[in-house]
């Protein structure tokens, strides 16, 4: 430690005085090879005349001056402060303005005052031991961001969830993955679906339920079907809206039938009127022009996606009326028992409309114009029914939505080929009894699974 009375000439001798006056006494710490000298500081000491009171000692203050810091806003304390000895300065925080930032800054310490970079801001604080001047670095402009590339459009995707017998709620599956089970005899009871990747698109769907028929349409994740009612879901219809250039494809795995064909854009998929449980569902969204044979599992062009049944009652030789029921096959095969009369109707069909039919009777020929449950044929006359013509009407036939397929099991010939939409099925002029009738309602353009184009549906004598 060295002392001085003039602030220039320093020595280790402690200054003394005898005159009554105020003395400025300077002091500093002398450094060594590894340390610098401190800045000279001073205190004032007064020798009062005898009998005079000693004045109050002079308060020592230090000046803290902060400069720089362009493009930043200082807050907290002033950038120029007078600080009493031993007191902390008011902390000053420099925050960069919008669009600017502080680059890497090592900070500095001067006479007890510290400036440092913390969390993107520069903070100046401390207890000064001398007058201090610190230059804060300027904030610099943020780099111009590279243009954000236009995002690739998300691939169209469909997500399905559901509820299955014995398992409960199923985890969601996407884009053609199987929802449900196969080979476990478990009924699918409820489904939901949603679509993504097509701006503004929506998916709607409904189901045909056991003992209930077609439900109301649900959309975009709404639940369709039942839980806790032991009621199987038998068929579905799905369609997109707000998705020009895309199609929704779907198929159902059905009891007895297995995987049926693929349906699209509102066509039904599954079965109706046969009490066959739907067991699994697969759904895909494909762009216009996509090859379904390349994109869809096991796709077969024309394979029936939906098999709807008619409700029928038939009058059989030595049996009488068999009671109206919804099924595919009516009558007998291998019992040499003639069909004598028939009535047909539709229940819970996917569109409004009815069914019409004509019959060819032994010795009478064609009788036309029966519809929706009317009895066609004879009772109590021992007269065989030999051939039929069946067709749909209303919306079922409109715009080519659905076709009715039918065939006759005939004496001596067995099952003949399939006819559709008003074509003749059976025999005429051969005196051969019709023994059984099979009827299927299919979406237009689809054929029965056992369709054989080379097998005749009718034989004339």
What pLDDT is stored for residue 153 in this prediction? 61
How do residues 241-254 score in pLDDT, each as one tens digit? 999 999 999 999 99
Please check the confidence at residue 85 and state whether its pLDDT lies above 90.
Answer: yes
Fill in the DSSP letter of residue 142: P
- Say what percent of the chain tops pLDDT 90: 78
Rounded-to-integer distance, Cα 130 and Cα 346, Å: 103
Provide φ and ψ at 191, rounded to 5°: -140, 160
- 49 burial (CB, 10 Å; 0-12 / 13-18 / 19+) is exposed
How would residue 53 be classed by pLDDT, with cut points 50, 70 and 90? low
Decide if 354 contacts 370 (C-beta within 8 A).
Answer: no
Model pTM? 0.63
Examine the pLDDT at 160 and tell me if it is beyond 70. Answer: yes
Q: What percentage of the chain carries pLDDT values higher than 70? A: 97
Give the confidence band of 216 by pLDDT, cuts at 50, 70, 90. Answer: very high
Q: Which long-range contacts (CB under 8 A, 24 or more apart) does 371-375 make?
A: 372/344, 372/345, 372/346, 373/343, 373/344, 373/345, 374/343, 375/315, 375/341, 375/342, 375/343
Average pLDDT over the chain reads 92
- Structure-model confidence comparison of residues 42 and 159, the more confident one: 159
Q: Is the pLDDT of residue 55 over 70?
A: no
Residue by residue, DSSP assigns 245-274 as: TEEEEEEEEETTTEE---EETT--EEEESS
* Tens digits of residue pLDDT in 340-398: 999 999 988 888 999 999 999 999 999 999 999 999 999 999 999 999 999 999 999 98
CB 407 within 8 A of CB 452: no
Nearest to 102 by CA among 134, 74, 137, 75: 137
Contact call for residues 367 and 374 (beta carbons, < 8 A): no
Give 295-312 pLDDT, tens digit per residue. Answer: 999 999 999 999 999 999
What's phi and psi for 347, nearest 5 deg?
-135, 135
Residue 215 in this model has a pLDDT that exceeds 60: yes
Q: Choose between 178 and 324: higher pLDDT.
A: 178
Residues sharing a CB contact under 8 Å with residue 294, sequence separation 6 or more, in sequence order: none
User: Which of 130-134, 145-149, 256-260, 346-350 is least confident?
Assistant: 145-149
DSSP 202-246: EEEEEEEETTTEE---EETT--EE-SSS---EEEEEEEEES-TTE
What secondary structure does DSSP assign to 90-132, as a single string? Answer: PPEEEEEPTTEE------EEETTEEEEEETTEEEEEE--SS-E
Provide CB contacts within 8 A for 34, sequence distance 6+: none
Task: Find the length of the chain.
Answer: 461
For 422, residues 6+ apart whose C-beta sits below 8 A from its C-beta are 389, 390, 391
pLDDT at 273 over 90: no
Q: What is the pLDDT of residue 147?
A: 84
Here the tokens at position 233 are 């879901």
Give the pLDDT score at 21: 81
For residue 407, pLDDT over 90 is answered with yes
The sign of the torsion formed by the CA atoms of 117, 123, 129, 130 equals: positive
For the stretch 151-173, what's the b/e string if a residue is b when 16 or more beta carbons lie within 10 angstroms of its beta carbon? eeeeebebbbbbbbbeeeebeeb
Cα separation, 43 vs 321, in Å, equals 128
């Amino acid at each position: 430690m060295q002392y001085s009375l003039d602030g220039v000439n320093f020595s280790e001798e402690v200054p003394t005085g005898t005159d009554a006056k105020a003395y400025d006494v300077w002091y500093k710490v002398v450094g060594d090879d590894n340390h610098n000298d401190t800045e000279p500081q001073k205190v004032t000491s007064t020798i009062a005349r005898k009998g005079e009171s000693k004045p109050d000692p002079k308060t020592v203050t230090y000046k803290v001056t902060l400069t720089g810091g362009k493009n930043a806003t200082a807050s907290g304390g002033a950038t120029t402060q007078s600080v009493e000895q031993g007191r902390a300065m008011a902390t000053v925080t420099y925050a960069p303005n919008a669009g600017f930032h502080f680059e890497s800054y090592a900070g500095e310490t001067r006479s007890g005052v510290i400036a440092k970079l913390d969390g993107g801001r520069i903070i100046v604080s401390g207890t000064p031991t001398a007058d201090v001047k610190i230059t804060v670095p300027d904030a610099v402009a943020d780099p111009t961001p590279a243009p954000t590339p236009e995002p690739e459009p998300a691939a169209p995707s469909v997500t399905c969830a559901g509820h299955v017998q014995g398992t409960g709620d199923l985890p969601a599956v996407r884009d053609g993955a199987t929802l449900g089970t196969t080979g476990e005899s478990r009924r699918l009871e409820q489904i939901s679906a949603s679509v993504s990747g097509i701006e503004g698109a929506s998916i709607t769907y409904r189901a045909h339920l056991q003992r209930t028929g077609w439900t109301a349409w649900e959309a975009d994740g709404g639940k369709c079907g039942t839980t806790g009612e032991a009621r199987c879901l038998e068929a579905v219809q799905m369609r997109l809206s707000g998705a020009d250039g895309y199609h929704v494809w779907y198929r159902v795995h059905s009891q007895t039938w297995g995987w049926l064909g693929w349906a699209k854009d509102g066509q039904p998929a599954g079965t109706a009127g046969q009490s066959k449980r739907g067991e699994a569902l697969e759904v895909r969204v494909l762009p216009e022009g996509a090859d379904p044979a390349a994109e869809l599992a096991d796709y077969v062009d024309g394979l029936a996606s939906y098999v709807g049944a008619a409700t029928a009652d038939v009058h059989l030789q030595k049996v009488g009326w068999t009671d109206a029921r919804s099924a595919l096959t009516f009558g007998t095969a291998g019992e040499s028992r003639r069909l004598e009369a028939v009535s047909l109707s539709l229940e819970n069909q996917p569109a409004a409309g009815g069914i019409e039919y004509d019959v060819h009777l032994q010795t009478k020929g064609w009788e036309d114009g029966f519809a929706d449950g009317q009895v066609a044929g004879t009772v109590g006359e021992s007269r065989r029914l030999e051939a039929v013509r069946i067709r749909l009407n209303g919306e079922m036939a409109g715009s080519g939505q659905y076709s009715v397929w039918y065939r006759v099991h005939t004496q001596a010939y067995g099952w003949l080929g399939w006819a559709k939409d008003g074509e003749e099925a059976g025999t005429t002029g051969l005196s051969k009894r019709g023994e059984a009738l099979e009827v299927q309602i299919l979406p237009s353009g689809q054929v029965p699974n056992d369709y054989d184009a080379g097998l005749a549906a009718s034989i004339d004598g």
